[in-house]
Structure 1
């Protein structure tokens, strides 16, 4: 059975992008990316729309014109997707279609050779806006590949790509081929930094420093790999040995990883219910207590049969229906290959359904 699956700054701040903080803020506010499809669906002509980026930048050598061209390039990247297609009512369909159309659109841009990067970077340094746009377009796939690594960290893929594209634009402005490295190697730092900041600032109800988020990701990865190889959960001492973290710090990270949620947040994209709607109160007995009552055992089995199979299995494991040994969220997640947050969501959804069934039958 399958289940549906940062305030300390970095030690050294990167140099401020060309154009100063005002331009940077405009870019950040703009959420520079062709992923604005959340507000507008895509059509089959999305490739032509993205191609319009090059046409709207213009050629300029004068300093003021150059800045204007840069702003236009940023704006065009953001609006390339939002001005095509038609908005449909089904939100999930819009998002899926827009992402797929974006992926198809960026495939038309060919990758650059080392010589191309050297030539274009020299032109960008000289103020050639078209060369700048070409470098951006040719590396949009790099952003997508990196953004996918941050999935299931609290932000949807389209937001991750938006933030990554902001980092890509910064890297194009700062890249110098004379340093002797390929552009993709240089851009990776800026893209990752931009996405890291977005995840730290937006994904958590309580904002965490960037370095803490990075350490959490490392601890999670090491824990997962250890459990896969050894078929058991690692001890704190073993985690300390593999991560290089102190025991006290690992315990602190484990506490932080128990993420907080807003009671007003929805359970999932396809449900309108908030966490507050399904919050269990004292008047609702725990499922294991109900099963302990032989008079209600049959009713419980019947009610459990009225929820989805994945929800039923999570409830059974979570409350010890199987062997009187309740499992933790993390243990259940390891069994089915999903995160503890996903297991928690399924549990709350299932309890909400059971509560509704019981209230409907006037059994509370």
Structure 2
């Protein structure tokens, strides 16, 4: 007969530890305060009563301990972020910092909300919520710590978000007033010199006529059909005959996309020529605009009812402006700061027309609704660095560096006076014995500008330190003679 072995009875003090741990629901606000304090202060897990090795079933007698605190113990704010993100992926309006104090719903929460929506954040997003992060490293560290705890990736840059209906409507209004008529465009392209690289490109894209709204929809439907065919191929389990049909549909969709891009290539020229002189060559602007056009062709949705030309213009402009922000300056300026600079320039031009003079810093600050100190900072950042090798005239006879004063260099008068003094001293020394001249040159740095001590001069001359002092005194006494003194008196300073 098989005996049943009872498990050892746990100690009374640890009886509660033998109970299975319950899933803890995160409590908001004040209730979370005590939970956080206990999580931070409790650094050792509860003791568990030993279980007899003679226990019959390990699964039946498995004892679950309460969840212990982390061994590495994140900082309190990281623990808080990790705990509270488990409920609705959001922090409560009032939370706790590492000292247990309440802090308001700040920019960190807004940044975390953006990160949870997109799955990542860019450095431009961080600078948007923390404008002083570039100067205050602590703010940047706090933002990175919160994002790390929330498992949100920080990337350098990202493609532009999908334009809203309002953005497309604004772009359409601009196109109605800015786009050149097709007849005028053809006349301009026909007059281009064949040796001009840009001209050849313009003539090439001018051969493809513009599309009507119905043609754009037809091409978009072919592209959409090819997209569905590609997804069908990816899933697999397709018969050979059906695969051939899908391949033909995909090829037709690629041809439709190419036609859609080529027919709207002149939009790139129309947008790029407005940004000439911003620090990026015109050909590079065209290249970046073409990349935006290709991206627009991939993302276009004809179901929204917008014309592709309007939709593509928005993407082209975004690609061109981002290229200017990244490549237009020797020292890169963040995109949000570039927007502030452009806004300040527009307001400054508007105020100049209204006032008939250049606006002051205070007037610009009132118009922009920022402090005068912020306006000065924007003006300082807006300045572009100049090369010292920039020619100052058409003949390239002189460069900018020739007119820049070197504040560390002496005045020409001082240089001439110093050279004359050196010649007079050398003339006076020629009347002394060579041994005395040598000692004076070493003691006062007349050779290489470096002075030597009595002991160092003695080693070089092979005499004692005292003997060097005596020879030096004798030489100076000779120089004080009126004959030599008269030559050097004019160089003495008061």
TM-score (norm 2): 0.36
Higher helix fraction: Structure 1 or Structure 2?
1
For the pair shown, the structure with the greater C-alpha radius of gyration is: 2
TM-score (norm 1): 0.48
- Tell me: higher relative CO, structure 1 or 2? Use CA pairs within 8 A at least 6 residues apart: 1
